[in-house]
Chains A and B, each alone.
Chain A
């Protein structure tokens, strides 16, 4: 029994997350309109891509503006291959593999650059990829966008509505979230933290800083690709206009809002960032300014994000309610 208790306590976040997802899955499709459902789906897809930022930025302290490039890369490849008649599972797999491979090769070059220049390289990638997506007609439809993208189907199962895509997204979210949550506790997760907090210490602790950074870029690329693939097939349409730097910025905000240590917080972040423009429709023109302020405020006042804030409040409440008899040590302390 105690073991189960310990396990639950250690993995609270992931179970809260799973619970909410389950509830969400049961309730949502029965009570939503098409429109609401599409908003919910967007939240989930953005959550997946933002998890990539959670790995890179939150765990590893590396900024990437290239999320839009990988959403497009995955989306276009899967869409084009399916138009050529390949089955969905294969097109999805191809999209993900190309995203991963390209991120790896780009990372090999990019992380040869010192410090901020690597970040600039991701910026260059975002701008260049937009240019290509917007003009390379045969594969991307150019400025008109790619139309008539086939819907996904797995064997006898064809996804025909927003609702069916919701289930696919929910499944993808759970898989991605469990992966990221697990990653945090692996030696690779700790390598990322070391790269983030102290590169010299990382090197003397056997961390291959270069490869660690590249691998985080690969994971972010694959997650962005996955989000891009599902969205492209769901919307049956993919336009370069949705793959701009703005959307990359948004994923950075989502990850920062959610907090660097939190998978669950990232979901909250995605929820806020997607719903905010709906609420703020009247001041739509100023939305970028709002984002800018939000980033600054987050960096200065809440480096650990919303979840970090909640944790802090929780901790201070708990310490007020339970006074530990032996001072600062707890049951799990090193001296017990």
Chain B
């Protein structure tokens, strides 16, 4: 099988700070790939490079065999790179309905004229139907997004990304700030995303969560990959333990 996402030798630095140091990484369709590392290791930067928010200094990023390294973010999104953010990014002054519809717009990709006769709420409802149970969301369409509890916002952001029918989904710290029930729902949701054949890259600090749902894990420190493999290999990798897992034990 071909990887759906491939990073080869990806490099990025901000002034003197190297945040991506020859990163190599492959994600296959349906794979849940964990991205771990200490604070400031360069995890979010990696997602920004993949989604095109930052441009790489060097190396290549391929999406399903197509080189997207030089494409702007919105074109990568249209080719199937979906993502969420450490702190959810919504249209703050728009309704929940519009915030989800914009995901559907990305899936449909209508032109300007066509959009006057394009997607309606029914289509969105049909897409939401199988997700409601898992996500445990409750809201009114017309409510402002800002009125929604934080945990629900984080879940809703994953749903918005899913509605856009991506090939790869990048999820940044989905469990941060969530209660245990919401974390459970989020994990089930991520599993559902991968069952749909979407390659998932998920950043998370909660180790039990990562070990539990990931098929493969990449651990980075100072922008460098220091360990890569199945969860078992990672938890036995001395470099990873020293840089990250061990440190967490000290904290506790």
Contacts and interface: CB of A to CB of B under 8 A. Distances in A.
Q: Do A and B bind each other?
A: yes
B241 interface: no
Interface stretch (B6-14, B70-78, B188-196, B200-208): B70-78
A194 B102 CA distance: 8
B91 A198 contact: yes
A200 interface: yes
Given A204-B51, A206-B164, A260-B93, A328 B140 contact: yes
A194 B91 contact: yes
A209 B74 contact: yes
Interface string A194-237: 10111011111111110000010000000000000000000000
Contacts of B52: 203-204
Nearest to B125: A334
A335 B81 CA distance: 29
B154 interface: no
Interface residues of B, number: 42
Given A196-B93, A332-B141, A190 B116 contact: no
Contact of A204 (B83, B101, B132): B83
Contacts of B55: none
Interface stretch (B19-27, B35-43, B105-113, B231-239): B105-113
Contact of A206 (B74, B112, B142): B74
Given A198-B89, A203-B72, A191 B105 contact: yes
Most buried by B among A194, A329, A330, A334: A334
B74 A201 contact: no
B179 interface: no
B132 to A, nearest CB: 6
Interface string B133-168: 000011111100000000000000000100010000
Give the size category of A's interface with B: 20 to 34
Contact of B132 (A186, A201, A208, A334): A334
A334 B53 contact: no
Contact of A187 (B51, B72, B110, B141): B110
A334 B160 CA distance: 14
Contacts of B118: 186-187
A215 B115 CA distance: 14
B112 to A, nearest CB: 6
A327 to B, nearest CB: 9
A22 B116 CA distance: 25
A205 B106 CA distance: 6
Interface in A132-172: none
11 contacts: A188-B115, A190-B102, A198-B89, A204-B53, A204-B73, A204-B89, A205-B102, A206-B109, A208-B72, A329-B139, A334-B141
Interface of B: 51-53, 72-74, 77-78, 81-83, 85, 89-94, 98, 101-103, 105-106, 108-110, 112, 115-116, 118-119, 128, 132, 137-142, 160, 164
